[in-house]
């Protein structure tokens, strides 16, 4: 049974369970969807990037959509993830999702290929809309993962050309100003769904953005609580929403933790702790799209840290805090040393310049015979007016 798409509420970008042999675990997937529906989730998003869509076969995609529609049984909508970096595949997957009863499709920006926003609109989203009728699409903007982004202007063009089919967008840019631009250009008819769990309330409360909900990763774990939080905020009950958010905060921090591991070559070189990419919010995560400046600063700190951390002894769990403190102290020490060296260089240059100037001045002033000024000092320019237009230093005669 196909449920009409309503872009308001909490939608779970559901994880994909795999069997030990790497195949899709259909029984486990049914249980996941049943749990979501039982907890009152608004909708399910199977086959999205949180569901590791690049690792799935198209048969797996089809199976997951079918199973999600059956398990939801009209109690929740199904937004099928059909995005690809191959437009033809995205068209075919969207057509298949419509035939299998999906309420809408989620199309992530065409990753890796690096298209411009105009190309995304005309050669990707536009082609899907022209090729497959009668199913809404949800553009998914997450430049930190795709390396490209549908601009607010092109999003507005898509929405205004076909407001019924492009009625919403999943915003995972982490940029509130960009979202306000979406609203300014597209108008009140565009539903903006949060793609970042930790920004959902801020987006819903913003007087310009007025987000209508979230496509969430955290609802894989706590669908009921997050749905209640979104519903409470939509009803204007900020106190209840804040209370739920406070209780969920430790869970959010736990899920996005990053582990560390040692990297050691066979000759024991390079022993140091390297942070491993933790389970980040793939289908919705702003910190996942770290800004280039942040990444550059992290690389610089890491390079400095390698000079001040000993390579010899492994770090055990009990030593991590001390190692982190030593790293920070070492970085600060090296920065202070660099600043001191810069100051010394400036001072040395100043001394060289002043010494050269004194030598030039001494060469210009003869021992005797120069006329004197009114104050008993020899003028710098041989008694005439100063050629530089300003008073130079004069030397007293002995």
Q: Quick count: other Cβ atoms within 10 Å of Cβ 2?
A: 16
pLDDT value, residue 340: 84
Query: Which ranges of the chain would DSSP assign to H, the alpha helix?
Result: 26-38, 58-72, 87-99, 117-120, 126-131, 143-146, 152-161, 176-186, 200-205, 223-234, 238-255, 292-308, 320-364
The tokens for 120 are 């995304």
pLDDT value, residue 324: 60
| Catalytic residue chosen out of the listed positions 140, 228, 247, 260 | 140
Please report the sign of the dihedral spanned by the C-alpha atoms of residue 178, residue 181, residue 183, residue 186. Answer: negative
Asked if residues 288 and 50 have their Cβ atoms less than 8 Å apart, the reply is no
Q: Which residues contact 68 (CB under 8 A, 6 or more apart)?
A: 14, 29, 33, 44, 46, 78, 80
Asked if residues 82 and 94 have their Cβ atoms less than 8 Å apart, the reply is yes
Domain that holds residue 223: 9-255
260 catalytic residue (yes or no): no
Sort strands 137-141 and 43-45 into parallel, antiparallel or unpaired: unpaired
Q: What is the DSSP string of 189-240?
A: T-EEEES-GGGHHHHHH-TTT---EEEESGGGT-HHHHHHHHHHHHTT-HHH
Q: Quick count: other Cβ atoms within 10 Å of Cβ 70?
A: 14
What is the Cα–Cα distance from 93 to 131, expressed in whole angstroms? 11
pLDDT value, residue 253: 83
Q: What is the DSSP string of 77-104?
A: EEEEE---SSHHHHHHHHHHHHHTT-SE
- The angle, 0 to 180 degrees and rounded to 10, between the axes of the packed helices 152-161 and 176-186 is 30
pLDDT value, residue 252: 83
Look-up: residue for tokens 């000759």?
267
Is residue 182 helix, strand or coil?
helix
70 catalytic residue (yes or no): no
Strand partners, 395: 378
What is the Cα–Cα distance from 397 to 394, expressed in whole angstroms? 9
**283 in a structural domain:** no
**88 in a structural domain:** yes
Query: pLDDT (tens digit, 0 to 9) for every residue of the chain, 398 residues total?
Result: 789 999 999 999 999 999 999 999 999 999 999 999 999 999 999 999 999 998 999 899 999 999 999 999 999 999 999 999 999 999 999 999 999 999 999 999 999 999 999 999 999 999 999 999 999 999 999 999 999 999 999 999 999 999 999 999 999 999 999 999 999 999 999 999 999 999 999 999 999 999 999 999 999 999 999 999 999 999 999 999 999 999 999 888 887 667 777 777 777 666 665 565 554 444 444 444 444 444 444 444 444 444 333 334 344 444 445 556 666 677 777 788 888 888 888 888 777 777 766 666 666 655 454 445 444 444 455 545 555 444 444 444 44
Q: Quick count: other Cβ atoms within 10 Å of Cβ 187?
A: 12
> Distances in Å between the alpha carbon of 168 and those of 83, 172, 217, 322?
16, 13, 18, 48
Domain CATH number, residue 161: 3.20.20.70
52: nearest Cα among 220, 261, 196, 251: 220
Global pTM exceeds 0.75: no
User: Domain tally for the chain?
Assistant: 1
Asked if residues 100 and 66 have their Cβ atoms less than 8 Å apart, the reply is yes
Asked if residues 14 and 44 have their Cβ atoms less than 8 Å apart, the reply is yes
Sort strands 77-81 and 43-45 into parallel, antiparallel or unpaired: parallel
């Amino acid at each position: 049974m196909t449920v009409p798409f309503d872009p308001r509420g909490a939608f779970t970008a559901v994880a994909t369970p795999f069997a030990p042999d790497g195949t899709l675990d259909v029984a486990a997937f049914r249980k996941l969807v049943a749990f979501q529906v039982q907890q009152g989730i608004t909708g399910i998003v199977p086959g999205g990037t949180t569901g590791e869509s690049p690792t799935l076969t198209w048969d797996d995609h089809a199976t997951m959509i079918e199973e999600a529609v059956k398990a939801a049984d009209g109690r929740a909508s199904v937004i099928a993830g059909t995005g690809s970096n191959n437009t033809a595949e995205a068209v075919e997957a969207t057509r298949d999702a419509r035939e299998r009863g999906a309420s809408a499709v989620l199309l992530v920006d065409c990753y890796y290929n690096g298209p411009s926003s105009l190309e995304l609109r005309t050669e990707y989203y536009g082609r899907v809309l022209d090729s497959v009728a009668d199913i809404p699409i949800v553009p998914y903007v997450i430049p930190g993962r795709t390396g490209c982004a549908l601009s607010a202007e092109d999003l507005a063009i898509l929405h205004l050309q076909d407001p019924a089919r492009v009625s919403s967008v999943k915003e995972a840019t982490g940029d509130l100003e960009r979202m306000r631009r979406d609203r300014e250009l597209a108008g009140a008819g565009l539903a903006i769904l949060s793609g970042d769990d930790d920004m959902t309330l801020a987006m819903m409360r913003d007087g310009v953005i007025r987000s209508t909900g979230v496509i969430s990763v955290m609802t894989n774990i706590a669908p009921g609580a997050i749905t209640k939080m979104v519903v409470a905020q939509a009803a204007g009950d900020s106190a209840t929403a804040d209370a739920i958010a406070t209780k969920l905060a430790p869970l959010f921090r736990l899920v996005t933790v990053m582990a560390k591991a040692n990297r050691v070559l066979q000759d024991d070189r390079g022993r140091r702790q390297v942070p491993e990419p933790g389970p980040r919010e793939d289908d919705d995560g702003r910190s996942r799209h770290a800004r280039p400046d942040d990444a550059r600063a992290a690389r610089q700190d890491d390079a400095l840290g390698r000079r001040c951390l000993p390579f010899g002894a492994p770090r055990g769990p009990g030593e991590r805090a001390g190692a982190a403190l030593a790293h920070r102290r070492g970085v600060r020490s090296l920065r202070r040393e660099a600043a001191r060296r810069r100051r010394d260089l400036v001072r040395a240059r100043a001394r060289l310049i002043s010494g050269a100037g004194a030598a030039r001045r001494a060469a210009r002033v003869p021992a005797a015979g120069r006329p004197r000024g009114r104050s008993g000092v020899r003028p710098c320019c041989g008694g005439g007016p100063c050629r530089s237009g300003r008073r130079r230093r004069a030397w007293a005669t002995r």
